[in-house]
Amino acid sequence: MTTSLLQGLYWHDLDGIRERHAAGADLNGLDDNGCTPLTEAISGGMGYPPVVKLLLELGADPHLADGNGLTPWLACLMRRQDRVVETEYRKIRKLLEAAKADRRGEELFDLEDKAAAGDLRAVQALLDKGCPVEGAHAAPLGAALFNGHGDVAELLLQRGASVEGKGVDEHGMTLLMSAANDGLLDMVQLLVRHGADVCRAWNGPDSCQTAAWYARDAGHHEVADWLAAQHPGAERSPIPKAALNGGAKAKYLDLYRHYTQGANHGLNTEAIVKKLQRWDKDYGIHVLDVSTDRLTVQFERLPDDLGKLAKDIGKFCPDTLDSFAAMAEQKTPAPDQQALLQGLDPADKHFAYKALQRWLQTHQAVGLWWD
């Protein structure tokens, strides 16, 4: 009966909640998300003070932890930084205070706030009083790291905070990966000094998404280079020497830095570079706008036989060819597309190749991407 009682929370159907309670709906039962009606009324949406008030009046337990380990008071604290719902949560706090709700565990949230503020003395005082260094719903170490407070992070690590991060086995992203993604070299170095695994990948040992990958992908190459120097396995797809210091592949350095690939078409970075090198030899190219799954190729010169080049592009990058085919299906093409399509027959089986040839003639460049 819990689910039927919860229906009133989203519609402010106070009379409906009273009726379902009178019919036997459980005030303290768990829903499919592990919430009690009270913690759902507190955590859900914008927060529902009238519903919280009614549930307490009907006898909902203000001390009971739900299936996620959150008491009503802790559920309220989870939204303490959300200024959008500040008014609602001020009202909910007053209701829970009046009900003398169990406030055990709030010190961990206080620790998280003090860590985020960089208040080393307050953090140490809380830890000395027995406050746990981390918990399922609060991450003081992360708060310190991502607000740039290395001294606080150092203390928390010394006191036993998990260097990989709490719950990392469930969500995969370690603190080191997050710090690398944000380009926080000092924090990356701090975590590694305390034993963070530079070789760990986000989705398993066969993945390339290590902390160095996240740093490289976000453009933080100093961080990625430092991580790669710590262990051979820190970067699964290292930049070849030929792409560095003006080497033979220096023109393609951004592809290696972004791990540009077309995984759905069996293309790794090296395979893409090999094709680009061939085009560079034949036509002269410049590579622009590089990301993990796309880039733009600017040609210095075009061949007399554009059909051959268009076929080569289409075979190498079917998604690019498909984009030209899709133009024919648009009811109202953009002006530049209308000019491109003028005189072409959408029913022609070579329509996409002909449109691509026109594009090359006009722009002397093409965007490649692999979805």
Both structure tokens of 326: 């899709």
Domain extent, residue 230, equals: 168-238
The total number of structural domains that make up the chain: 3
Output 1 or 322, whichever has higher pLDDT: 322
The mean per-residue pLDDT over the stretch 120-142 comes to 96
pLDDT at 128: 98
Both structure tokens of 39: 């913690």
Residues 252 and 122 in one domain: no
Neighbours of 245 (CB within 10 A): 8
pLDDT at 237: 79
The mean per-residue pLDDT over the stretch 60-64 comes to 97
pLDDT at 3: 52
- What average pLDDT is seen over the chain? 91
| Residue where one domain finishes, among candidates 238, 255, 271 | 238
| Residue where one domain finishes, among candidates 187, 205, 238 | 238
- Indicate the pLDDT class of residue 236, thresholds 50, 70 and 90: confident
Both structure tokens of 338: 């209308």
Residues 78 and 219 in one domain: no
Q: Do residues 228 and 234 lie in contact, with contact meaning Cβ atoms separated by under 8 Å?
A: yes
- Indicate the pLDDT class of residue 56, thresholds 50, 70 and 90: very high
Residue 2 has pLDDT above 60, yes or no: no
| Residue where one domain finishes, among candidates 198, 214, 238 | 238
Neighbours of 129 (CB within 10 A): 9
Largest CA distance in the chain: 83
DSSP letters, 39-56, are: HHHHHSTT--HHHHHHHH
Amino acid at 260: T
pLDDT above 70: percentage of residues in the chain? 96
Residues 160 and 178 in one domain: no
Residue 342 has pLDDT above 90, yes or no: no
- Residues 190, 170: Cα–Cα separation, whole Å: 24
Residues 219 and 359 in one domain: no
- Indicate the pLDDT class of residue 118, thresholds 50, 70 and 90: very high
Residues 158 and 28 in one domain: yes
- Indicate the pLDDT class of residue 245, thresholds 50, 70 and 90: confident
Residues 139 and 16 in one domain: yes
Residues 25 and 45 in one domain: yes
Residue 1 has pLDDT above 60, yes or no: no
Residues 110 and 184 in one domain: no
CA-CA distances (angstroms) from residue 65 to 29, 31, 329? 11, 13, 56
Going by DSSP bridges, is the β-strand pair 285-288/365-369 parallel, antiparallel, or unpaired?
unpaired
Residues 179 and 208 in one domain: yes
- Range with the largest mean pLDDT of 223-232, 331-340, 343-352: 223-232
- Residues 146, 182: Cα–Cα separation, whole Å: 8
Residue 243 has pLDDT above 50, yes or no: yes
CA torsion angle 64 70 71 73 (round to 10): -170
Tens-digit pLDDT profile for residues 87-115: 999 999 999 999 999 999 999 999 999 99
Residue 277 has pLDDT above 70, yes or no: yes
Output 274 or 245, whichever has higher pLDDT: 274
Residues 232 and 253 in one domain: no
pLDDT at 203: 77
CATH number for the domain harbouring residue 228: 1.25.40.20
- Indicate the pLDDT class of residue 9, thresholds 50, 70 and 90: low
- Residues 123, 116: Cα–Cα separation, whole Å: 10
